[in-house]
Chain A
Amino acid sequence: MEILMSILAGILFMAGTYMVLSKNMIRIIIGTAIISHGAHVLLLTMAGLKTGAPPLLGLKASTYTDPLPQALILTAIVISFGVTSFFIVLGYRAYKETGTDDTEKLRGTDSYD
Chain B
Amino acid sequence: MTNLVILPILIPLLTGVILLFIPKNIPFQKILSLISGLSLISVNIFLILNILNNGIQTLELGGWQPPFGIVLVGDMLAVLLVTTTSTVSLAVLLFSFYSIGAEREKFYYYPFYQFLITGVIGAFLTGDIFNLFVFFEVMLIASYILIVHGGTKVQLRESFKYVLVNIISSALFVIGVAYLYAVTGTLNMAHLSERIGSLETGAPILTVIAVLFLIVFGLKGALFPLYFWLPASYAAPPSAIAAIFGALLTKVGIYSIFRTYSIVFIHDTGYTHQILAVLAAITMLAGVIGAIAHQDVKKILVYNVIVAVGFVLFGVATLTEAGFMGAIYYLIHDMVIKGALFLMIGAMVVVAGTSHLKEMSGLIKHHPKLGWMFFTATMALVGVPPLSGFIGKLLLVQGGVDSGQYWIVAVMMLTSLLVMYSMIRIFLNGFYGKIILKEADQYGTTKGLLFPCAILVAVSVFLGLGAQALYPLVATAAETLLQPEIYIDAVLKE
Contacts and interface: CB of A to CB of B under 8 A. Distances in A.
B475 interface: no
A72 interface: yes
Interface of B: 130, 133-134, 137, 140-141, 144-145, 148, 151, 153-154, 156-161, 163-164, 167-168, 170-172, 174-175, 177-179, 181-182, 187, 232, 296, 354-356
Interface in A10-65: 20, 25, 28, 32, 35-36, 38-40, 42-43, 45-48
Contact of A75 (B134, B145, B171, B178): B134
Contacts of A7: none
Contact of A90 (B130, B153, B160, B174): B160
25 contacts: A20-B164, A25-B160, A32-B167, A42-B178, A43-B175, A46-B182, A72-B130, A75-B130, A82-B141, A83-B163, A83-B167, A83-B170, A87-B164, A90-B156, A90-B159, A90-B163, A94-B156, A97-B156, A98-B153, A98-B156, A103-B160, A106-B160, A106-B161, A108-B154, A112-B354
Contact of A47 (B172, B174, B178): B178
Contact of B167 (A36, A72, A97): A36
B399 to A, nearest CB: 36
Interface residues of A, number: 38
A46 B157 contact: no
Contact of A86 (B141, B179, B182, B296): B141
A103 B157 CA distance: 9
B151 A97 contact: yes
Greatest chain A CB density within 10 A among B153, B154, B161, B164 is at: B164
A28 B174 contact: no
A86 B182 CA distance: 31
A63 B175 CA distance: 26
Contact of A108 (B168, B172, B181, B232): B232
B168 A35 contact: yes
B153 A97 contact: yes
Contacts of A47: 178, 181-182
Given A46-B182, A83-B141, A90-B148, A76 B157 contact: no
A45 B356 CA distance: 52
A40 B159 contact: no
Contacts of B164: 20, 28, 32, 87
Nearest to A103: B160
A91 to B, nearest CB: 7
Contacts of B167: 32, 35-36, 80, 83, 87
Contacts of A76: 133, 174
What 9 A-B pairs have minimum CB-CB distances, sorted nearest first? A46-B182, A46-B178, A39-B174, A43-B178, A94-B156, A39-B171, A108-B232, A32-B167, A35-B171
Contacts, number: 106
Interface string A92-112: 011001100001001010101
Contacts of B175: 39, 42-43
A79 interface: yes
Contacts of B355: 112
Contacts of A90: 144, 148, 156, 159-160, 163
Contacts of B354: 112
Contacts of B161: 106
B20 to A, nearest CB: 16
Contact of A43 (B144, B163, B174): B174
Nearest to B298: A112
Contacts of A108: 154, 157-158, 232
B144 A46 contact: no
Most chain A CB within 10 A, of B163, B167, B232, B355, is at B167
B32 to A, nearest CB: 26
A92 B463 CA distance: 46
B187 to A, nearest CB: 8
A45 to B, nearest CB: 8
B182 A32 contact: no
A113 B153 contact: yes
B171 A38 contact: yes
A12 to B, nearest CB: 10
A40 B144 contact: no
A47 B145 CA distance: 34
A36 to B, nearest CB: 5
> Which residue, of B141, B170, B356, has the highest number of chain A Cβ atoms within 10 A?
B170
A75 B182 CA distance: 18
Contact of A79 (B137, B159, B187): B137
A76 B173 CA distance: 10
Contact of B174 (A25, A40, A68): A40
Given A47-B178, A93-B151, A112 B163 contact: no
A38 B178 CA distance: 12
A91 B160 contact: yes
Nearest to B354: A112
Given A36-B174, A72-B181, A106-B161, 6 more contacts: A32-B168, A38-B171, A39-B178, A69-B178, A83-B141, A98-B156
Contacts of A93: 148, 151, 156
Contacts of A106: 157, 160-161
A16 B37 CA distance: 42
A112 B156 CA distance: 14
A90 B144 CA distance: 9
